[in-house]
Amino acid sequence: MIRIPRRWEIPESEVTPEPLYRRRREFIKSAGVFGGALLLNPLAAAQASLKIGAYEKGVVTLDEEPTQEEDATSYNNFYEFGTGKEDPKRNSKRFKTDDWTLEVGGHCEKPGTLGLEDLVRPHPIEERIYRLRCVEAWSMVIPWLGVPLGSVLAAFQPTSKAKYVAFKTLHDPVRMPGQQRAVLYWPYREGLTIAEAMHPLTILAVGMYGKTIPNQNGAPIRLVVPWKYGFKSIKSIVSIEFTEEQPQTSWNMAAPQEYGFYSNVNPEVDHPRWSQKRERRIGDIFKRDTLMFNGYGDEVASLYDDLDLAVNF
Amino acid sequence: MAVSAVLNSARLRPVLHLLCLLPLCALTWAAFNHGLGANPVERLTHETGLWTLRLLLVTLSLTPLRQWTGLAAVIRYRRMVGLYTFFYLCCHFLIWFVADQSLSLLAMIEDVVKRPYITLGFSAFLLMIPLAATSNRAMLLRLGRKWKTLHQLVYPILLLGVLHFIWLTKADYLQPGIYAIIAVILLLHRVIPIRRFAARFSPVTR
């Protein structure tokens, strides 16, 4: 029998050497001492999550009431901080986002590693009220604060080889205790086609409800793609890469038959185990009908003219 | 022996009733005090499902418990715990039927047919109805030997329940895994003749 390695299987050579792995706790301890020294040094005290100053109100709005802020910040799927819905809020309390940097690379003319301020500040922060539809058939309406991903990416001058954009979440099992268990393949990975990434509805969010984004919602910077299932909107991003090949995505790696690369909200294509026809808006008891592309069909349907959405789910 | 005195006490039964009703009271209280989080329907569905499984496991541990400890009186409480299992299962079913299916029989049937994890859960529910209906003494006497055969349905029901839980899980199999392991131990106990083995080590001579 020939065993074809799956795309996500890594060669033995890439596995952390055992002696190094065994010393991981010492490493953590020494990192702690080092980190402590940083705390004592006032010069090292750096910016935390982006402070939201002025922003443009209502750049995109909905005629639907936003979800209660308390609900949107206490009911989260963020497995890096635990798999329960209320785990992220509890387990991310001490998560520090100081000195956060984002590495942007791959097929672009001007790759670089930027701090949050440098990445976001050149662009006016906009308030955008979007529906958020989770693959688990619940949904919210959230007033995000962020900047269009397209204008951020344009500054790096992607080349003609940039067909896709790959994103990664921070991988740090000490700061993100949920990563100590192999529930998913860490780091969390997501990806978009370049057209999806450049679409004006796609944003990088740094705030919500008029404030800096809370840790449990993906601080300090996360993606928001309102016409796709929530898991596509990757949180706490540290890396953005322009790629020629379709990038790997964490949920697709975990269950390829259940979570496709596109994962557009589509009431006609069910999840293999449950229906996607209806959803429960948080705050409601009964379910409502799910809208094609989560209600953003007028804006995004043309992106998929040539695709069979039942195959490319 | 002190334990058997407690088991034989007339006061134990009301205490057990209260214990079995405690989850219901806690959930009801939480429901009226914003204690169920952002998605109370989902929370109620999960909690009633979990309590069904827990009580089913308790029901099925009573026979092994008797064999290991020799405390015959524990069996007296098996029917009661079994009926509470069915009670939580009814709550579980009703919440799903009302809030998820909007009381639509058609929608319900569609989901039962199309979604394997719902097929399993719903089958367990259907199978438990005859067990609850024949749980009283009159039915026990009327059915005679057939009663025991009928009530062996509880084993497939347990399997269906555990598979239902595993099948609806997205990625984190820790919790359903724990329930599955306990269920397998309890089922194996029926298959493998541990009885003699247990009797040898049991502190109580029978």
pLDDT tens figures, A171-210? 999 999 999 999 999 999 999 999 999 999 999 999 999 9
Q: How far is A115 from chain B (nearest CA, A)?
A: 33
pLDDT at B204: 54
CB contact under 8 A, B172 and A138: no
SS3 A144: strand
Q: Between chains, do B41 and A274 touch, taking CB under 8 Å as contact?
A: no
Q: B60 to chain A, minimum CA–CA distance in Å?
A: 28
DSSP string covering B141-199: HHHTHHHHHHHTTHHHHHHHHHHHHHHH--S--HHHHHHHHHHHHHHHHHHTTHHHHHH
Whether the predicted pLDDT of B28 surpasses 70: yes
B140: how many CB neighbours lie within 10 A of its CB?
Answer: 14
In the predicted model, is pLDDT for residue A50 greater than 80? Answer: no
Element (H, E) at A142: strand A138-148
Q: How would you label A138-165 residue by residue, b for 16+ Cβ within 10 Å and e otherwise? A: bbbbbbbbbbbbbebbebbebeeebbbb
Question: Does B151 contact A at CB distance below 8 Å?
Answer: no
Which pLDDT score, from 0 to 100, does residue A33 have? 45
Our measurement of the distance from residue B51's CA atom to the centroid of its chain's CA atoms, rounded to an integer in Å, reads: 7
A284-B53-A84-A276 Cα dihedral, nearest 10 degrees: -50
Number of H helices, E strands in chain A: 9, 13
Decide: residue B162, CB within 10 A, 0-12 exposed, 13-18 middle, 19+ buried. buried
Per-residue pLDDT band for A11 (boundaries 50, 70, 90) equals low
Which position has the higher pLDDT, B117 or A1? B117
A74 Cβ under 8 Å from any chain B Cβ:
yes
CB pairs under 8 A between A and B: 56
Residue ranges of domains in chain A: 47-304
pTM for the complete prediction? 0.84
Residue A48 has pLDDT above 90, yes or no: no
Which ipTM was obtained for this model?
A: 0.85
Taking the C-alpha atoms of residue A121 and residue A55, their distance in angstroms, rounded to an integer, is 11
Beta carbons of B171 and A254 less than 8 Å apart: yes
Position A72 confidence tier, pLDDT thresholds 50, 70, 90: very high
Contact flag A183-B172 (C-beta cutoff 8 Å): yes
Q: Cα dist. B178→A184, A189, B91, B184 in Å?
A: 19, 29, 23, 10
Residue B181 is encoded by which pair of tokens?
């392991």
* pLDDT in the model for residue A40: 44
- Interface check for A68 against chain B (CB to CB < 8 A): the answer is yes
Which fold does the domain A47-304 belong to in CATH?
Sulfite Oxidase; Chain A, domain 2 (3.90.420)
